[in-house]
Structure 1
């Protein structure tokens, strides 16, 4: 059984490795992953590393008149510590902030939920939730690589923590808190059973049952005497068995105690998170400006996530949208449904996005509608029951 461990996020960029894509997108088999969890991984790609590198080289030559230096690191990779419920939408938010504030452009994301290890005490699987971000480190003003100061790297950590809500745990804190409280209760019940079992075993050692281990025989005069060697052998055998079981129960007891201690600490942290969440919610609801700003930020994030999902599908299948309008709408429906499920986005939020003419236009501009001479009415929504009404231009 897995349980939640309170962790802090971090982000650390290094030179990208030659086998990064093979590792990140699971093109090879690795012995440190749990294969049955690999299907829970998520991926997003804008460019291949090789294609991006060629573009960077060409842009550097065009912008500066010089070739890219041999020791330059124009493409870098970061491993970001995430939570179990971190979504691709969260990582797109992080990518946007990194670009806006530090000019770092993320063009590949891989969320790994299949790495971890088995705890040597509890024998339980301890997941190592993280994401790989591949970044274009080129300065678009000079064509050379970006130059950051130490405070910029400190800012990266702040931005990451804020975007992933690792400190405040705003997303789903109440649910996780209740889950942990339930697990603590179950673990404590297991402890009581173990303690009860140990007590029973100790009582059993003093019970009449052990009289049966005593071997007696009559001597030549007919007097009953204890046969010492046989009796000792019986007691040694039984005590060895009980000692093994007691030792095993002691180890289990220590493991359960450790787990309960960790869970209780996590419970304290999550209680704090829920309190912060309530305070923030109260502030947003009491301030029209704050509510409006939060709403705009959220809907922009939803729109960007849909756009990036479409771009990813086009990257995988370049001619995906070169088809009839009906099939294009069906594909868009499928993409939006997947985005909604994977990122916990309510359907009502998708409706709001497509009700907005500017957002709707931005999304539909990616769908090759010009190839079909199609116009569309942005008052309608191209999703499931609310299909967008599309008309061919006359």
Structure 2
């Protein structure tokens, strides 16, 4: 029975949909040295999209998850890795970033159906809470054992599942440990009616990405080919020794036959009466000598044919080994080139971020100096907005905060809406997106309905007055 397994990793949103849906742009720029796709088999692929994602791209769905996390937790979704330092021990703990979308790659069979994979996704949702957004079955990937032989095609039947790994009730991601993943492997084997692969907790094997797996497999095949060539060389040496021994045995038999034939002739001359009998023996000896004389040639031809066959086989094995050595070298060069480019891009990105941060700090400093020239009323309004927006517990302006904004809108601006737009613009550089939206909403509320804050304050004062006037009972 065929074995199955699943490997789960963070979803590459920029490439996942293009790869899984086989877009024209993706197929036009694919690197065949790393991933070979037979476009004549692409129509055999199958895809399924969940109703939750219907009409949305993965990027749009990802952005919606970010908004959901803000609403549920009040904080932006942490997607980058970070470090936490224990102040008492000084120990540094690395905390992985949130990966709300994850992709599972499943090894399957040629006849694996979409219904089986949907059933597996339902089992995972019931057991772990994660939700499948997309399922794709690929039957057009693989490689040729011999690029010159189209019959040597080896398909790589597999499927991709895109998971929503977030709990929409809490705004947090689901936490699955190694035992949960092992249980998921069991559910997969059950759903696909396949044998479960050996657990890496038992074998100690580490998962290799597709390209690394191919390179490792090619290196292993090269080593096996070299070992086979050495074995053939030893067998050829043994056969050569056996040929020498056989030649010596033939020579010994020929000498013995010659001696026996010579004795028979002498006996015939000594006994003329029995000449007919000895003549027959002589003829048989002559025929035997002729056959013995041909025997070395026949044996030599047989040995030569076998040696030619062995040498041809060895040449073929060497050519195969040379081919895989070349492929391994090519993959290694490509890997080093990609690694170098990746490091270069990372360094360039880091420098760009530093430059951007410097420019932002310069702009903030300049804007601070610029705001310092405003009136006290304007400065007080801006500081009030920044203080309120950064307070994670505050939901509305207090009456004093609303009054500070209203003073600016009344004394410093001819039009309340225009004044509100000025405050919204001047506070933007000091706040993140969430904070700015929070302050923007309250500024507009003050501009449109300042009386709401007055009534709210009067009601609050009235309640406090009632509490103070309540009669106190002595014990």
1 or 2 for the larger relative contact order (CA 8 Å, sep ≥6)? 1
- With structure 2 as the length reference, what TM-score do the two structures score? 0.35
Larger fraction in helix: 2
- Bigger radius of gyration, 1 or 2? 2
- With structure 1 as the length reference, what TM-score do the two structures score? 0.41
